[in-house]
């Protein structure tokens, strides 16, 4: 068997098509959705992500504001920017790019963003709603993107066994909540670094969502034939054959393709969907200001 591709680029394009109409409707009300991104420091990967978000805003006709601060900026500087953006009626979404320098309290700064502008979906109010089973709010972009890809593939989750590898606040845990939520209705196991017999637990699953940050960890013999495998991982590994000396790989060994029924590629899988869901959250946040 060769797995079908859960093609994140194609799925993201279909999300963008649907967003076009909503953005046009907002513009008729005199509103252009506006995303503000705060980035601190020089982490090259973060700058690549932020540039990609800004380019997507431009493509869709959204306004973006890019606030760049040096690595030695004070936490208070970031606070002031967030407080200012919270007060601006013309700004609908605020995102503070992770990771922040070690001297900053990332969770504290996330909590400072007004929940209605929290387009990353990490504010305790938005995560709390998700825990209550309310999936109509601003959802964390990566797990929401995973759910959209599964829907795009026409993959039935009801009653199926799903395992999420990873329990982080931004990916693993919200992905598990969304898979178990009413409407999706999967039966979910959350695995982490202390999980025993991980390969056996995976082999029982109909759906595997891998979000561990370990290159190629999920092996073909961990996967039930025909299972759906979503690879969230983005890991940089050395590759002297490339001019830049590295390449990106996921958390899933590419040989899983020979066993799985569906597999999301890296790159070109969950990554583009994360950005598409960020755009969707920004449009949603703008719609709420005019009751659309």
Tokens 């070109």 belong to 268
Question: Which one, 33 or 174, has the nearer CB to ligand NDP?
Answer: 174
Could you tell me which residues come within 8 angstroms of residue 192 by beta carbon, excluding any fewer than 6 positions away?
Answer: 165, 166, 167, 172
Residue closer to ligand NDP (CB basis): 130 or 212: 212
Position 271 contacts ligand NDP (CB under 6 A):
yes
Q: Is 270 among the residues that bind ligand NDP (CB under 6 A)? A: yes
CB of 268 to ligand NDP, least distance (A): 10
Structure tokens at 29: 């009300």
**In whole angstroms, how close is the CB of 90 to ligand NDP at the nearest point?**
28
Q: Which of 165, 186, 260, 263 binds ligand NDP (CB under 6 A)?
A: 165
- Using CB atoms within 10 A of its CB, is residue 158 exposed (0-12), middle (13-18) or buried (19+)? exposed
Q: Minimal distance in Å, beta carbon 26 to ligand NDP? A: 26
Among 90, 125, 193, 237, binds ligand NDP (CB under 6 A): 193
Q: Residue 4 or 169: which CB sits closer to ligand NDP?
A: 169
Residue span 136-155 as binding mask against ligand NDP, x where in contact by CB under 6 A, dash where not:
------x-------------
Judged by CB under 6 A, the chain residues 198 through 237 that form the site for ligand NDP are 198, 211-214, 232-235
192 binds ligand NDP (CB under 6 A): yes
CB 92 to ligand NDP: min, Å: 21
Would you count residue 186 as binding ligand NDP (CB under 6 A)? no
Nearer to ligand NDP, 210 or 283 (CB): 210
Could you give phi then psi for residue 208, rounded to 5 degrees?
Answer: -120, 125
Residue 27 a catalytic site member: no
Active-site annotation holds for 136 = no
Per rule CB under 6 A, is residue 100 in the interface with ligand NDP?
A: no
Query: What is the nearest approach in angstroms of ligand NDP to the Cβ of residue 214?
Result: 5
Is 120 an active-site residue?
A: yes
| 167 contacts ligand NDP (rule: CB under 6 A) | yes
DSSP secondary structure, the chain, as one string: --PEE--HHHHHHHHHHHHHHHHHHHHHTT---EEEEEEES--HHHHHHHHHHHHHHHHHT-EEEEEEE-TT--HHHHHHHHHHHHH-TT--EEEEPSPPPTTS-HHHHHHHS-GGGBTT--SHHHHHHHHTT--SS---HHHHHHHHHHHHTT---TT-EEEEE---TTTHHHHHHHHHSTTT--EEEEE-TT-SSHHHHHHT-SEEEE-S--TT-B-GGGS-TT-EEEE---EEEE-TTSTTSEEEE-SB-GGGGGT-SEE--SSSSHHHHHHHHHHHHHHHHHHHTTT-
Supply 123's token pair: 């504010």
Set 7, 118, 120, 206: catalytic member? 120
Q: How far is the CB of 124 from ligand NDP (least distance, A)?
A: 17
Examine residue 172 and tell whether it contacts ligand NDP (CB under 6 A): yes
Please list the active-site residues.
53, 97, 120
Residues forming contacts to ligand NDP in the complex (CB under 6 A) are 142, 165-168, 170-172, 191-195, 198, 211-214, 232-235, 270-271, 274
């Amino acid at each position: 068997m060769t797995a079908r591709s859960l093609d994140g680029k194609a799925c993201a394009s279909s999300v963008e098509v649907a967003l076009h109409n909503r953005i046009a409707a907002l513009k008729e009300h005199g509103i252009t959705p506006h995303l503000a991104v705060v980035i601190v420091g020089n982490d090259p990967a973060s700058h690549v992500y932020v540039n990609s978000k800004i380019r997507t805003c431009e493509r869709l006709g959204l306004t973006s504001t890019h606030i760049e601060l040096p690595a030695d900026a004070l936490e208070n500087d970031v606070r002031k920017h967030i407080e200012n953006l919270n007060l601006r009626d013309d700004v609908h979404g605020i995102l503070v790019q992770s990771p922040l320098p070690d001297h900053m309290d990332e969770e504290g700064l996330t909590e400072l963003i007004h929940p209605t502008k929290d387009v990353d979906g990490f504010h305790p109010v938005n995560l709390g709603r998700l825990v209550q089973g309310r999936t109509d709010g601003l959802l964390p972009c990566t797990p929401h993107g995973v759910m959209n890809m599964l829907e795009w593939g026409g993959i039935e989750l009801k009653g199926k066994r799903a395992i999420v590898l990873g329990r982080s606040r931004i990916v693993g845990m919200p992905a598990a909540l969304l898979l178990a939520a009413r409407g999706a209705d999967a039966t979910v196991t959350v695995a982490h670094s202390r999980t025993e017999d991980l390969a056996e637990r995976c082999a029982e699953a109909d759906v595997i969502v891998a979000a561990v940050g370990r290159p190629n960890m999920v092996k073909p013999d961990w996967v039930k034939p025909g299972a759906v495998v979503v690879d969230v991982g983005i890991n940089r590994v050395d590759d002297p054959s490339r001019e830049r000396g590295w390449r990106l790989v996921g958390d899933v060994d590419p040989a899983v393709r020979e066993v799985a029924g569906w597999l999301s590629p890296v790159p070109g899988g969950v990554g583009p969907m994360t950005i598409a869901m960020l755009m969707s959250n920004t449009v949603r946040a703008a719609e709420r200001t005019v009751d659309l």
